[in-house]
Structure 1
Amino acid sequence: MVLRPPGPATRPRNRKQLIVEAAGQVFSERGYHAASMEEIAAGVGISAAALYRHFPNKYALFAECADVMADRLVAAMDEATLPDVLAALIRVTVAHRASGGLYRWEARYLERADRQALRAKFRQVVERVAELVRREYPFPGEHLRAVAALGAIGSITMHHTSIAQRRIEELLLASARGVVGADPATAAGSAGLVELPAQPVPRTRRAEILAAAIPLFARDGFANVTNGQIAQSVGLAPSAIYRHYPGKVDILVAACLQAAGLLAQAVERSLQQAADPLLALTAAYVAYSFEHNALNSVAEAEVRGLPVDLRQPLLLAQREHITAWEQQLRTARPELDSRQARLLVHAGFGVVVEAGRALRWQDTPDHRDVVTALVVGALR
């Protein structure tokens, strides 16, 4: 018997698909700018040179990742009934949980034409869900309820709570159906229950720099904002920034810590002498999200890109916030265990993000009330 030397390894036929899956996960976890082609290539088990044979640059790969996820959601629209469509969307999202969150925060880094094409596909999904919502729950606001339900479903991509896949799908379906069937009248007047801590008034140059940087980070993304832009907005020379912050990342950390502090105060105030603690907590979170939208979006979108040592205190604050929610939800629904409660809490957060965006974050009592009702629907 003659032994032959092993031949070259066979290239898998689905290598491009494997690359897109690995890249989507890296982009979702680390953010577009922090991700590298070398890291993505390592995740697939190939060299960076081999990766460039499939995609000419990081942007092309990023755009493909966002497009593929949107196409998967569009393909789930073939079902005939609202429960079946929601279940199909949930299956797709859960199956691609590690990479499915790409569109929520990172899509702003797409070029205009690509961003418009992606929005058109998501619009197709929303319109189909809204059509089915209108049939099953024929009262006003079907578009907003559809968007909010998709926010509840998409929330699974934004955290790592571990539950059996079948149970995840059951919980998300119940949550999404609770959203689309929510009656805004159930939370009427909830905005009047909330007394938020005031936005800090910038009284020092350091505070002025922070206040100027937050809307820039929210609008353009942390990586795209320069110290020169921040300095110009407060009438300083770029070099003067360094007398107050060692670097741009330190401004971002300060913004995230400010968001965490204001949110903690809002939670504490909402739970004092509340007749319905879960409703009070929900109303406070919704009010905070509207009133401090730029600050909150920066903290949510950019914390993943921070160095590990700078991220730890922020992650600790996030865990404490989730724990407060978990306790209130399990009091209202004792059949839930802690992981199930956390999953639903994140679903509620997803509702706020997507419903708030749909309402363009226009802060009115009516908007706060309706979003509060949608979140309560997701939780209860």
Structure 2
Amino acid sequence: MSADPVAETRPRNRRQLIVEAAGPVFSERGYHAASMGEIAAEVGISAAALYRHFPNKYALFAECATITVNRLVEAVDGVPPEAGLPELLHAVTRVAVAHRAEGGLYRWEARYLDREDRRLLRAEFARVVGRVTEAVRREHATPLAELSAVSALGAIGSISMHRVSIAQRRAEDVLLSSALGVAATDPAERTCGPRSVELPARPEPRTRRAEILAAAVPLFARDGFAKVTNGQIAEAVGLVPSAIYRHYPTKMDILVAACLQAAELLAQAVGRSVDATADPHEALATLAATYVAYSFEHTALTGVAEAEVIGLPHELREPLVRAQRDHIAVWERQLLLARSELDPRQARVLVHAGFGVVVEAGRAVHWRDTPEQRSSVTALVIGALGLT
């Protein structure tokens, strides 16, 4: 009797193929927007076949998140203990660039993991941070070695935050150089010096519509957009849920308003900072200080805008993408003036590396907003750009 032809053609590594296909989908679409049918189509199988390997979407998502971090752990474990910081960071960079499509899974979507799974994931990532921290401390003897290490990893991980088209080897070189620049920066010295930054104030909620937006943002930041209900938002404002719809037809409209507000505040802040100086080095230092101040001042708002924009429909996301490109173009122009050896793609990758430093450094200090913290993170951003 002949064997089952379906069984004969089924690849033995199908579970691995599913995970490899699912990671980019979760990273690109977000956990809640991604569907098992969409992932099955990427693999070329039916949804029913997918469920033979994973009982539900969460199980697949958790395995994808775990594998993302395990790759980094394996990379640093494969580097000899006596190796220098460049070799260690190069190993991390190779993994980050090779799997950039899945990187956003850990950066933003891992918050949707159950508490225990999230704890295990953080424990694994802490091994990577610990290894890099030891190397930073050994080579640079900085008292804030862990902050420098986390920030260097943030520069490397930034490759998952954008779609700049750049060859893998060139991306590795640019990111490694950026991470080493961060690691060599002593945030305790704050060599960039104090910089006066004037941020536009977030508008006072003087209308019911503005009150709803102001109440929704911290809820989105804490629990994630998908988990927050209009009922929770209404309760925070002191309204009945049906009253929300008179101001925002859908919850998605509230999210769009939050993202647009974040983009507008940042554009205003950047415009003020760049207009104040003509020297590109000084302009970049001021841009860095402004972006850091903005991120610490409006942590919930910026976190929502950065984490949730991938879940917006294309037509709603496009204006936000244009605003982000305009913002990056300001940095890119100044960086190309300050470092003439760079080409535009390299400059764009470095700008995103600076943004990645702010995200990870801010998380590391729990966004405690003090002049010292802002100055330290600004210095690390300048290091990521390759400036002294």
Q: Same fold (TM over 0.5)?
A: yes
**1:208 equivalent in alignment to 2:195:** no
**1:158 equivalent in alignment to 2:153:** no
Q: What is the distance in 1 between the residues matched to 2:13 and 2:382?
A: 43
Cα RMSD (Å)? 1.4
- Please name the residue that 1:225 is paired with: 228
Q: What is the distance in 1 between the residues matched to 2:177 and 2:318?
A: 33
- Please name the residue that 1:97 is paired with: 100
- Please name the residue that 1:263 is paired with: 266
**1:181 equivalent in alignment to 2:190:** no
Query: C-alpha displacement at 1:44, in angstroms?
Result: 0.6
Please list, as runs of the form range in 1=range in 2, the aligned pairs for 1:314-333 lying within 5 A after superposition: 314-333=320-339
Q: Deviations for 1:94-144, whole angstroms, at most 9, x for unmatched residues?
A: 111111221111111000110000000001110110011000000210000
- Please name the residue that 2:315 is paired with: 309
- Mark the runs of 5 or more structure 2 residues left unpaired by the alignment: none
- Please name the residue that 2:354 is paired with: 348
Percent identity between matched residues is 71
Query: C-alpha displacement at 1:147, in angstroms?
Result: 0.4
- Please name the residue that 2:174 is paired with: 171
Query: C-alpha displacement at 1:7, in angstroms?
Result: 4.4
Q: What is the distance in 2 between the residues matched to 1:148 and 1:267?
A: 22
SS in 2 for 1:182: coil
SS in 2 for 1:100: helix
Farther off after superposition, 200-209 or 8-17? 8-17
Q: Contact conserved, 1:344 with 1:379, CA < 8 A, in 2?
A: yes
Farther off after superposition, 16-25 or 34-43? 16-25
**1:127 equivalent in alignment to 2:133:** no
**1:88 equivalent in alignment to 2:91:** yes
- Please name the residue that 1:50 is paired with: 49
Query: C-alpha displacement at 1:83, in angstroms?
Result: 1.0
SS in 1 for 2:203: coil
Q: Which amino acid aligns with 1:330?
A: L
Q: Which amino acid aligns with 2:43?
A: V
Please list, as runs of the form range in 1=range in 2, the aligned pairs for 1:11-30 lying within 5 A after superposition: 11-30=10-29
Query: C-alpha displacement at 1:81, in angstroms?
Result: 2.2
Farther off after superposition, 100-109 or 28-37? 100-109
Q: Which amino acid aligns with 1:189?
A: G
Q: What is the distance in 1 between the residues matched to 2:109 and 2:212?
A: 25
Q: Deviations for 1:182-228, whole angstroms, at most 9, x for unmatched residues?
A: 133354533x4211001111100000000000000000000000000
Q: Which amino acid aligns with 1:231?
A: A
SS in 2 for 1:54: coil
Q: TM-score, normalised by structure 1?
A: 0.97
Q: Deviations for 1:329-376, whole angstroms, at most 9, x for unmatched residues?
A: 111111111111100111110000000000100111000000000000
**1:366 equivalent in alignment to 2:366:** no
Q: Contact conserved, 2:192 with 2:285, CA < 8 A, in 1?
A: no
Query: C-alpha displacement at 1:309, in angstroms?
Result: 1.0
Q: Contact conserved, 1:20 with 1:65, CA < 8 A, in 2?
A: yes
Q: What is the distance in 1 between the residues matched to 2:324 and 2:147?
A: 27
Q: What is the distance in 2 between the residues matched to 1:299 and 1:162?
A: 23
Q: What is the distance in 2 between the residues matched to 1:187 and 1:372?
A: 9
Q: Contact conserved, 1:94 with 1:169, CA < 8 A, in 2?
A: yes
Aligned residues, how many?
Answer: 376
Of the three residues 86, 108, 112, the one matched with 2:111 is 108
- Mark the runs of 5 or more structure 1 residues left unpaired by the alignment: none
Q: Which amino acid aligns with 2:193?
A: G
Query: C-alpha displacement at 1:308, in angstroms?
Result: 1.0
Q: Contact conserved, 2:231 with 2:240, CA < 8 A, in 1?
A: yes
Q: What is the distance in 2 between the residues matched to 1:216 and 1:187?
A: 37
Q: TM-score, normalised by structure 2?
A: 0.95
Query: C-alpha displacement at 1:76, in angstroms?
Result: 1.1
